[in-house]
Structure 1
Amino acid sequence: MKPLSDSWRHCVGTGRINLALRSDYRESLALVRRDIGFRHIRGHGLLSDDMGVHRKSAVDGGVRYSFTYLDQVFDTYLELGIRPFVELGFMPTALASGEDTVFWWKGNITPPRDHAEWAALVRAVLLHLVDRYGVDEVRTWPVEVWNEPNLVNFWKDADQDAYFRLYETTARAVKDVDAGLQVGGPALSPGADDWWAPFADFVSRRDVPVDFVSRHAYASGPAQQIPFGTYQTLDAPHALLDQFDAPRKHLAGTRLAGLPVHITEFNTSYRPDNPIHDTAYNAAYLAPVLVGGLDLADSYSYWTFCDVFEEDNVPTSVFHGGFGLLTHRQVPKPTYHLYAFLARMGAWVLARGDDHLVCVDGDGRVTVLAWQPVGGTDGPDAGERHEVRVSFALRGPRAFVRRERVNEHDGNAFAAWRELGRPASPDTRTFDVLRDCARPAVEHRSVAVEAGRVELRLSLARHEVTFVEVLPVRPQEHTGLDDRRLLGASDDRLVAEHER
């Protein structure tokens, strides 16, 4: 048996990190830490103006570094038990070479007008983090240089040479602080695999530090926009796994072969207003991706943990197609439960299939994650039912089987929200109703262990993800108890249970 890797929860994405100053954000992060246990968190905007790190005096032009907000954000992360995955960007306005920006909050995407001043900023930030949190701690925080420089949206003219220069300046500045700090990139978007060879050649020729490589993965087609929303086509799930595997394939035979691979963003759609993110379909689609990715990358970071996120301005409705596993005010979406189920799986992998994962713990507890396969836009329509059969060894005469399910109806707050008339800004009572409806449906039963094995026949509803926990039963004697004497206990099942 192989241990179940936790690469699936090594990192999770977030809206720009300034949002960590908000209570809704912090409450949501505490919930995902409790239920899922992500190890690191990555987001844009560490050096953008709203964090106030790089300050220039209007009096004499002198530069001062302010860590007021940065300390509050990183203190919050560490207090909640999650470590930063540091993305260096975007460009502070006072250091920028141009005025091009991205997003509603205007992250500057131009190169530094002075690379020496940029290097000084990077060194100052890392030195402060080392002084505040200790070098051994900060060495566990990967430092990524920029975000998707292959796109004109994120890097002026998608200038490859300019990015390589930025990468070299930044990587050397990081290592100036401490050689043990991890630095990497280039955080490429899908469709940019032609950057791998030039990047590997550049860092090899110039002996530039690279401790890991990073890429993003999305499976959606061109945006079909409607007012305050977007629809897109969707490739089959294996398209995401192919993207997870791309860095290793393209870097084989280069100096970068064998380095850790971090998929620092992934999801079905790259749009923050695509309703697919809110659905049970999204969970069923991503189930084989989370399981299949275990063999392909050192981490793959879901984008994002909650809907406190403002790339396209402030959301206009509680359900709006946001990236988050949680809506505002901590309403879990079906994909949240997929992650929470996986977090409760056993430590060792017993079996894997196209529609299931079976694990076991040292105490004999067996867990099953099962899902209805879906195929994207061009795949066949999912049926109303999907049958999954699993069989495994278990000690003892009987087993207790507990099952939780999430589908188009059960554990689906998005479905309940639609039935409630799609309230854009629910009141407190309606939020309570939505959270209640977001709870997975639960059932339990006792089954016989036959010839040392348990066989489960699981019937899954449309777009269902289900979690099953099987515990060996060790009966204890309770002298004098007779369930047949309970009022209403004439049921043959109760009598049979007593006689066993």
Structure 2
Amino acid sequence: MIRVPSEPVGRLGGAWRACVGTGRLELALRRDYQESLALLQREIGFRHIRGHGLLSDGMGVHRPYEWQGARQVRHAFTYVDQVVDAYLELGIRPFVELGFMPEELASGKQTVFWWGGHVTPPSSYQEWGDLVRATVAHLVDRYGLEEVRTWPIEVWNEPDLSIFWQDADQEAYHRLYEASALAVTDVDASLQVGGPALSPGADDGWLTRFAAFVEDRGLPVDFVSRHAYTSGPAQEVPFGTHQTLAPAGRLLEQFAAPRHELKGTGLAGLPVHITEFNSSYRPDNPVHDTAFHAAYLAPVVAGGGELVDSFSYWTFSDVFEEVGIPTALFHGGFGLLTHRQVKKPTYHLYAFMARMGDEVLARGDDHLVTRHPDGRISVLAWAAAGAGGHTVRLSLPVPDGDEVFVRRTSVDEERGNAYTAWRRMGSPQSPGLRLLDMLREAAEPVRSHHRLPVRDAEAVVEIALELNEVTLVEVEPVVEEAPPWWDERRLLGGGAERSPGDGNSR
């Protein structure tokens, strides 16, 4: 049994929900996307959202034309305004990613993803700088400087990979960073700009070379960013992918890497943002839909805030089209939610975290114990991914009362698991409304409650964990308010009158 101390050992902080990822920004114009984000914000409440494509052609910002024999550029923000307005109405702010290249500003034809994001350097760095400056200035004009100061602005995405940046040319990226960072701070020097949004596979020298470059040039850099994934080579099947996974602890090692690499550089001590993380980097890997995935990520979501300032789950919804339009409701998408707002087990991991307290009382390999300002205690516990059948036994501090009310909410292979129900239905590609209702019902976690005695200011909670279970246990003292005449033995009118002082039956 683990005896949980009454004095906190730290604070939980908000790094786990500081940001969440999204499909390319123009998808935010869709009804399903906005309904999914509204649900997410009601039950979890992320603070920022990051996605690709702000400057890609689908958002229509960069609009070159000819007039009187000369090339001109009009900057249009029709879609940008609709997307950002919708975000702010839902209580979530942009984590701005500057990318990808507009087609008519790109120096080459190379693209990434089904939707064709251009990934070559600009044909004119002056025109690129003007585009960034105009976009940031518009955001400041529309939403106010004080608001936009809270939006980190990240330059590009994974430039160390040739699929995202032509030839993975670091010198060319440095030039892009310089043009972008100066354009941002031309609008206002207090705006946050940073990068380089490296992939998990970046060599150890990429970040230190970036640090040396920005120091040497005296460039603004307010944060450092990278990504984290743990999957091996893709084993492709039609409309899907299977991969091996490294232990989940590898994600935490990747979270810790930037601070280790930047020791002794001018960027040491800057905020570190993991602007993408997940198990697999593929949006068609069925592991994303499973209870295994929730159990796999539980220690990462519970402990990542000890290492970085934010870590952004990639992504909140399956409204996402990097490898094409999904062909089935469950297709291995990154999302916490499927299309049509069916919750996955990993969604519940985040929803459980949203019900944790600020004070950390204890941490372990399979549990996190927190306390709320009003004294309630919340315990997040999980089975090791692929395992179950063990019990977490905790003695919790309860300074007041004779009994506690215990509420438990759980997901595992059977419970809170729409994927299991969908497979048993026959894996319908496009379920009708009746089946969708069934799946949403199957996605709800199981809930139970009971009372426990308090002895010597402690309550002992035993949490037996099933295969791939993630559970939230909430504990608070009982304040009995039943009147003295209440007696459940008399619900149907039987039994004798009880005299005052006989106490209440429970």
TM-score w.r.t. length of structure 2 = 0.95
Residue 405 of structure 1 aligns with which residue? 410
Structure 2 residue 477 is matched with structure 1 residue 445? no
| 2:251 match: secondary structure | helix
| 2:460 match: secondary structure | strand
2:144 pairs with 134, 148, 157, which one? 134
Cα deviation for residue 182 of structure 1 reads: 0.2
1:483 and 1:489 in contact (8 A); partners too: no
Distance 1:340 1:261 in 2: 24
2:61 and 2:77 in contact (8 A); partners too: yes
| 1:468 match: secondary structure | strand
Residue 40 of structure 2 aligns with which residue? 32
Seen in structure 2, the aligned counterparts of structure 1 residues 497 and 229 have a Cα distance that, compared at 3 Å, is farther
Distance 1:48 1:255 in 2: 33
Residue 320 of structure 1 aligns with which residue? 331
Aligned ranges 1:447-466 → 2 under 5 Å:
447-466=452-471
Q: How many residues align?
A: 488
Residue 213 of structure 1 aligns with which residue? 224
Per-residue Cα deviation, 1:55-106 (whole angstroms, up to 9, x for no partner): 0115553210010000000000001110000000000111110110000110
1:484 and 1:498 in contact (8 A); partners too: no
Residue 201 of structure 1 aligns with which residue? 212
Cα deviation for residue 194 of structure 1 reads: 2.4
Distance 2:503 2:174 in 1: 70
Residue 144 of structure 1 aligns with which residue? 154
| 1:329 match: secondary structure | helix
Aligned ranges 1:170-189 → 2 under 5 Å:
170-189=180-199
Residue 45 of structure 1 aligns with which residue? 53
Aligned ranges 1:72-471 → 2 under 5 Å:
72-192=82-202, 193-374=204-385, 382-383=387-388, 385-394=389-398, 395-471=400-476
Per-residue Cα deviation, 1:462-489 (whole angstroms, up to 9, x for no partner): 0000001111101125032211212499
Distance 2:314 2:374 in 1: 34
Residue 71 of structure 1 aligns with which residue? 81
Seen in structure 2, the aligned counterparts of structure 1 residues 489 and 206 have a Cα distance that, compared at 3 Å, is farther
Residue 493 of structure 1 aligns with which residue? none
Distance 1:416 1:498 in 2: 43
2:129 and 2:179 in contact (8 A); partners too: yes
Cα deviation for residue 387 of structure 1 reads: 1.0
Amino acid in structure 2 at the alignment position of 1:55:
R
Distance 2:380 2:91 in 1: 26
Distance 1:152 1:400 in 2: 56
TM-score w.r.t. length of structure 1 = 0.96
Amino acid in structure 1 at the alignment position of 2:442:
C
Listed as ranges, the gaps of 5+ residues in structure 2 are 1-7, 496-501
Distance 1:5 1:497 in 2: 44
2:486 and 2:505 in contact (8 A); partners too: no
Cα deviation for residue 3 of structure 1 reads: 2.3
Residue 5 of structure 2 aligns with which residue? none
Distance 2:485 2:171 in 1: 82
**Cα-Cα RMSD:** 1.4
1:386 and 1:462 in contact (8 A); partners too: no
Q: Percent identity?
A: 64
Structure 2 residue 27 is matched with structure 1 residue 19? yes
Per-residue Cα deviation, 1:324-379 (whole angstroms, up to 9, x for no partner): 000000000000000000000112111110000011112121110000013xxxxx
Distance 2:110 2:37 in 1: 32
Distance 2:275 2:214 in 1: 20
Distance 1:488 1:466 in 2: 40
Structure 2 residue 17 is matched with structure 1 residue 9? yes
Residue 481 of structure 1 aligns with which residue? 486
Distance 1:148 1:288 in 2: 26
Amino acid in structure 2 at the alignment position of 1:56:
P
Seen in structure 2, the aligned counterparts of structure 1 residues 127 and 113 have a Cα distance that, compared at 3 Å, is same
Distance 1:78 1:429 in 2: 33
Distance 2:151 2:215 in 1: 24
2:486 and 2:504 in contact (8 A); partners too: no
Distance 2:45 2:365 in 1: 25
| 1:64 match: secondary structure | strand
Cα deviation for residue 291 of structure 1 reads: 1.5
| 1:215 match: secondary structure | strand
Distance 1:382 1:206 in 2: 52
